[in-house]
Structure 1
Amino acid sequence: MKKFSIYLTLQLIALVVFGQSYKLQSPNGKVYASIEVKDGLSYAVFNDGNPIVEHSTIAMKANLFDEKAFSDKHRAAYDSSNVMVTPTWGTYAQLQDHYNQLTLSYENGLSVQFRCYNDGFAWRLLTTFDNEIIVFDEPNRFNLPANCTVYFPEVSGFLTPFEVNYLPKPLESIDKDKFALTPFMFKTPNGELVVISESNLFEYPGMFMQKEGDDVFKTVFPKYPKKEKQQLPGRLHLVKWPQISRMVVKKAEDYIAKSDGKRSFPWRVIMIANNDAEILQNNLVYLLADDPKMDFSWVKPGKVVWDWYHNWNLQGVDFEAGINTQTYKYMIDFAAKNGIEYINIDDGWTKLWSFERVNPNLDLAEVIDYAKSKGVGVFIWAMWNTIDKNFTANLDMFSKMGVSGLKVDFFDRTDQRIVDFVNRLAQECAKRKLLLNLHGMYKPTGINRTYPNIVNIEGVLGLEYNKFSDKCTPTHNLTIPFVRNVVGPMDYTPGSMRHVSPDKFEKSWDNPHSMTTRAQQMAMYVVYHGGVQMLADSPTLYENDSIALGFLSKVPVNWDMTLPIEGEVGKHIAIARKKGNKWYIGCMTADEGHEFNINLNFLDDKDYKMTVISEGNSDDELVKTSVKTKKNEKHTFKVNQRSGLVIILE
């Protein structure tokens, strides 16, 4: 990643003061924050004069200071920055990082840094103590404007797979003490869409939200683990897999974090959009994260043939499909023939807790060698706690095997122990040039900038829920692009080839169906983004649909430009992405159909071939048409409910 400085200005206020008010504006002047040091530290954020977050407090309780420290003598310094950032991979070839900044430096060794962007506001704490810092709590408050709609990602506690529905609720209807994970999204009475999350999470637990008062949420954090125990995840009790058990915290310390006293703490991020579609181009979580400190030029984004979703179900083959050598060779041949970069070997390749006890039906070395001979990489699945039992030796083993990456699963926590493990895993895998796809994992916090070998993160209720739940609804599919995917890559694992209407839906472990159409599943490869994207269903089903397979073999995962066209949370979305000289537009609908009016004013001045992939006469059918078009032409597309559309312009 490269960073090019355009300009930097600095203005210092060298006075030592007690009580003081400050104003910090975005570069375009539309977003501004009012910051006050008086009986603590508080702020309010506005967009075009409209309140986004009203009078809210910032606090931390630690062994070296408490909340009173935020009222002490301090110095204030303003500065600005405008640089261009070049991501290793993502949805843009370049990003502008343009902000105004205010730093309050207290005499006690504590500082608070505020940044105001054209599309948001963020702050973080910094300390310069010689001694170890122990943080007992960080009880920040977010005072939301009255009459907001909150898309409430409710969880029962800190032990969670981070796979939830974001359900719209009036702010006042949410009971006190209700618990939610982040990202946390709400819509103001003026129509602004706001997402609260965090960035640059190191040596610290992840942030949750809890309802405290009528309009107030406070931040809460899991405490540092003292005693852990293996326990089968509740969502898998029904399948009785004793080899899959997560590590749960049975006893915790009285603090949330412990680290060196010279450090920066995670950014608290408020992303602001004037309308729903605008949030789709917000990159603050990425921009606030640290640059990579290693060479990641070797990282190769791509698509992955998955085995687990369809339960290793190959149809019409002359061998018994399953977790065996022949099945994976078939998948490799399929990937090689269709330009798919990777296959995934999921749970079942080992027995119980030992990586050495390989399934006797699977010659793993032969499969990996065969994949190499075909130019196909291999991801291999593992539990995080199994890796951790013999950390260095296990990573060396995977590296020696010749796999391209690891799909690491069932973190289900975000206390500091887990966060430390994830960062250590990313660093050590990078040294071995191993990619990572993290499942059962907390949301992205910009770690994919610091460690671009993390090519995808789950942290979302995805397609797999069709195997055991009815929660993966069309409305859910049209909500997550605006909240979960905004904070970073999202491994929803699209690509279902079997579909039914919601009223006929039945969960099925062996033959899962989606509540969408095949056209919507194709559109997901444009609308959703991540450094690797799964082809979730059976290769034999893709082979029976030349339109689907032709599209999936060519659609990129790494983009040069992203342009939201229109969208409404939980209703519909249209987004354009560019790779090279080719544009892709993905359109999706939820429970109601929608007419998309698309103006091609973003094209270059030349003639284009426009190919449209849309719904046929049934949920499982695709049709493809092509016409000529050019810049500034307008096209109208009617898309049925829970369906989709892909447009390719070349």
Structure 2
Amino acid sequence: MKKMFIHRSLSLLIPAMFLAQVSVKAQNEGLSLKSKDNLNKIELSLAEGGKLFYNVTRKDKTIILDSPLGLTFENNDFTSGLSVVKVSAIEEKREKYELKVANNKVADHVFKSKSVTFKNKQGALMTIDLIAGAEGVAFRYKFTDKEPQKRVVTNEITGFHIEQNAKGWLQPYNKAGDYTPGYEDFYVNVKSGDPITGARNESIGWCMPALFNVNNTKNWVLIAESGADGTFPGCHLLPDSTNGIYSIGFAKKDEKFTLPLPDKEAYPESNLPWTMPWRVIMIGDKAGDILLSTMITDLAPASKIEDTSWIVPGKAAWSWWSHPEDFTPEMYNKFTDVSASFGFRYTLFDAGWEKANKEGKIIDYALSKGVQPLVWGYSAEYFDSQKRKNRFKELESMGVKGVKIDFWCSDRQEVMAALQGVFEDAAKEHLLVNLHGTTIPRGWHRTWPNFVTAEAILGTESYFYEPRFPEKAAEQNTVLPFTRNVAGPADYTPFALTFRKYKRLNTATHELAMAMIYTSGIIHFADSEEVFNSLPDALKNLLKEMPATWDKTEYIIADPGKTIVLSRQKDNLSYIVGINGTNAAEPISIDLKKYGKGFSKFRVISEGKDPLMEFKVETYPLTSNWKYNLAPKGGFIIQFIK
């Protein structure tokens, strides 16, 4: 009897198991999406207990291993007990647009998209939008029900599972403190799962964008955010010291700096419907593919400014770096004269400018010289909506063309919403925006083209404050184009030749090349009038003609942390620019005829007798096999000549 009972029990159990397997399989059908070229794929899957996962492949090779999806509200759980209720048809969409500030003026990409709706145990619905394109994949959470009461997200378990021992370039996310978080730390070369090391300040996670070399070094991946519209905090990655799963972390309640923010948990909150930011996974066969990707702006909302003709990228002189304690009208006017003599469109009046303007009318002086003034402001002055609108109207009436707003130091949702207000209200007064002490851009320069640049970068002011900066700067300069600058325009404030507290080790040519390596809608040049005037004529002419944005960019050498060489074109101007991030000389060879079509000669700017302060300028006939020894921590600039 006992054997018969066991046999009958098994006979009942096996069909039940089979039905369960069939049910799981049926639930997972149609949950994948491929790019139009069939190379990149994102696939969702429901596992035991209704837990949701995804993975990403390229050419059928794993890029992101099975990683968790889902989030929890205060009174609703979307991390387990999920079932599929609807899968949309696949749609094809094309994103073609122009950027005011870009590596390549025109972006034109085709994406496949679909949406999958899930139901949880309580019967509530969650939709996940999927996107797949030639440059990578992305997903976002969406809640389409209409509910007037606020919903609060207490946790998001979204993870990015990176293969063991994959190398990455990650920036520590600094804990709230004096001037942090501000995305002003070193990018650290680590392996997936390594603990946080080498941070400038106490840190609680890793920043996005985060760069990894995966698939046995065959592919590069950049993890980032896009489409943050003020209904969600800026997010970072939580540290992981075991298996390489990097989970989403929210801004913290103490990220307040001096802003009037409530003392409460900084969880995301909104009424429904609610569309959350894109989680973006850019994929490239080469690191240069990441550098040139526009996927973050592809996924951002289209421009909300109809007439953008008043938004003109340009260059600016800036007195603070060389004279940080001098706020006299005479000093501001001196740098206005520098802008005028070099044909720079702008001049930046930093902190202290208002007193100088009352004493010396520095704004009127700049306008009389044909130079458009940009002025510094403190974030607290621009946080309140009505005060912000009034201030922008006042500045516009004075003749100001743009604002540099400093010391945000927070990723909280209230700050992200305030930044959207800054862009919109500034646009109404035809004012350009430059953010400092701030979070990273998240595709905003497409939506609001008057947002032309931002700090959120460990730039040249670090020669005042960071003892490790001189040794690490060259390496960092070859990492940032693949990370921070992919997120959006970066105000690095290049060309700082004068020695400050911590002596520069990069060559002068390296520093000059930085102005053409980074992309920034306004290039704020950091040095004194004396340095500008001491330059040889060839360099003065280069500074006069140098664009602040580009029509076309190609990478020639793209090796993060080591070497970067770019071909840059704007109108009838054509250059090749390169820098060395290492302490060893780097031999390179370039077919100049390939990049210099239509030109007969080329001018090379390289290191002079004193590499730290001097330049050498030489002109040659165009050649197909140009060989050059890139100096340790050095650089070069090639100008093609008709």
TM tier, shorter chain?
A: 0.7 to 0.9
TM-score, normalising length: structure 2: 0.87
User: Higher helix fraction: Structure 1 or Structure 2?
Assistant: 2
Q: Is the 8 A contact 1:17 1:74 kept in 2?
A: no
* Alpha-carbon distance in 2 for matches of 1:164, 1:175: 12
Deviation at 1:65, TM superposition (A): 4.0
Number of paired residues? 588
* Alpha-carbon distance in 1 for matches of 2:289, 2:29: 34
User: Which among 363, 368, 372 is matched to residue 367 of structure 2?
Assistant: 372
Q: Is the 8 A contact 2:144 2:273 kept in 1?
A: yes
1:446 partnered with 2:438 = no
Q: Output one character per residue of 1:431-461: Cα deviation in whole Å (capped at 9) or x when no partner.
A: 0111011011111100011011111011110
Distance 1:599 1:61, change over 3 A: same
The 5 Å alignment of 1:155-554 reads 155-157=173-175, 159-174=180-195, 179-188=205-214, 189-202=216-229, 203-212=231-240, 213-223=242-252, 246-247=258-259, 251-253=263-265, 256-294=267-305, 295-311=307-323, 322-349=326-353, 358-359=354-355, 361-363=356-358, 366-388=361-383, 390-472=387-469, 473-498=473-498, 508=501, 513-546=503-536, 547-554=538-545
Q: Output one character per residue of 1:25-71: Cα deviation in whole Å (capped at 9) or x when no partner.
A: 22222222222134232111112233211001111222574214753
Distance 1:417 1:178, change over 3 A: closer
* Alpha-carbon distance in 2 for matches of 1:161, 1:89: 22
Q: Is the 8 A contact 2:173 2:236 kept in 1?
A: no
* Alpha-carbon distance in 2 for matches of 1:603, 1:586: 12
Q: Is the 8 A contact 1:50 1:190 kept in 2?
A: no
Q: Is the 8 A contact 1:498 1:518 kept in 2?
A: no
Residue 134 (structure 2) aligns with? 118
Distance 1:485 1:407, change over 3 A: same
1:556 partnered with 2:554 = no
Q: Is the 8 A contact 2:101 2:520 kept in 1?
A: no
Distance 1:576 1:605, change over 3 A: closer
1:195 maps to a residue whose letter is L
Deviation at 1:486, TM superposition (A): 1.5
1:335 maps to a residue whose letter is S
Question: What is the RMSD of the two structures over their aligned residues, measured on CA atoms?
Answer: 2.4
* Structure 1 stretches lacking a partner, 5+ long: 1-15, 231-245, 314-321, 350-357, 500-506
1:25 partnered with 2:46 = no
Distance 1:125 1:64, change over 3 A: farther
3-state secondary structure, aligned to 1:155 = strand
Q: Output one character per residue of 1:471-529: Cα deviation in whole Å (capped at 9) or x when no partner.
A: 43211122111111112111111011236xxxxxxx52xxx643211101111122111
Q: Output one character per residue of 1:383-435: Cα deviation in whole Å (capped at 9) or x when no partner.
A: 11123353232222222221110000111111101101100011000001110
Distance 1:638 1:587, change over 3 A: same
The 5 Å alignment of 1:589-604 reads 589-590=580-581, 591-600=583-592, 602-603=594-595
Distance 1:346 1:395, change over 3 A: same
* Alpha-carbon distance in 2 for matches of 1:364, 1:565: 51
3-state secondary structure, aligned to 1:130 = strand
* Alpha-carbon distance in 2 for matches of 1:381, 1:276: 36
Residue 622 (structure 1) aligns with? 615
Name which of structure 1's ranges 528-537 and 78-87 shifts more when overlaid on structure 2.
Answer: 78-87
Q: Is the 8 A contact 1:194 1:272 kept in 2?
A: yes
* Alpha-carbon distance in 1 for matches of 2:26, 2:299: 29
Residue 635 (structure 1) aligns with? 626
Q: Is the 8 A contact 1:585 1:647 kept in 2?
A: yes
* Alpha-carbon distance in 2 for matches of 1:388, 1:302: 27
1:97 maps to a residue whose letter is H
* Alpha-carbon distance in 1 for matches of 2:196, 2:331: 50
Q: Is the 8 A contact 2:103 2:292 kept in 1?
A: no
* Alpha-carbon distance in 2 for matches of 1:579, 1:138: 43
Distance 1:606 1:374, change over 3 A: same
* Alpha-carbon distance in 2 for matches of 1:407, 1:148: 38
Name which of structure 1's ranges 576-585 and 601-610 shifts more when overlaid on structure 2.
Answer: 601-610
* Alpha-carbon distance in 2 for matches of 1:153, 1:343: 31
Deviation at 1:257, TM superposition (A): 1.7
Deviation at 1:325, TM superposition (A): 1.5
* Structure 2 stretches lacking a partner, 5+ long: 1-24, 198-202
* Alpha-carbon distance in 2 for matches of 1:72, 1:607: 60
Deviation at 1:209, TM superposition (A): 0.7
Name which of structure 1's ranges 409-418 and 84-93 shifts more when overlaid on structure 2.
Answer: 84-93
Matched-pair identity in % = 24
* Alpha-carbon distance in 2 for matches of 1:60, 1:607: 57
1:262 maps to a residue whose letter is P
Residue 67 (structure 2) aligns with? 56
Distance 1:115 1:229, change over 3 A: closer
2:276 maps to a residue whose letter is F
* Alpha-carbon distance in 2 for matches of 1:228, 1:411: 9
Deviation at 1:122, TM superposition (A): 0.6
Name which of structure 1's ranges 459-468 and 85-94 shifts more when overlaid on structure 2.
Answer: 85-94
Name which of structure 1's ranges 339-348 and 54-63 shifts more when overlaid on structure 2.
Answer: 54-63
Deviation at 1:150, TM superposition (A): 2.3
Q: Is the 8 A contact 1:324 1:362 kept in 2?
A: no
Deviation at 1:470, TM superposition (A): 2.5
Deviation at 1:23, TM superposition (A): 2.6
* Alpha-carbon distance in 1 for matches of 2:635, 2:260: 40
3-state secondary structure, aligned to 1:552 = helix
1:142 partnered with 2:160 = yes
Q: Output one character per residue of 1:213-242: Cα deviation in whole Å (capped at 9) or x when no partner.
A: 42211111025x5x9865xxxxxxxxxxxx
Residue 103 (structure 2) aligns with? 91
Residue 40 (structure 1) aligns with? 51
User: Which among 68, 88, 91 is matched to residue 76 of structure 1?
Assistant: 88
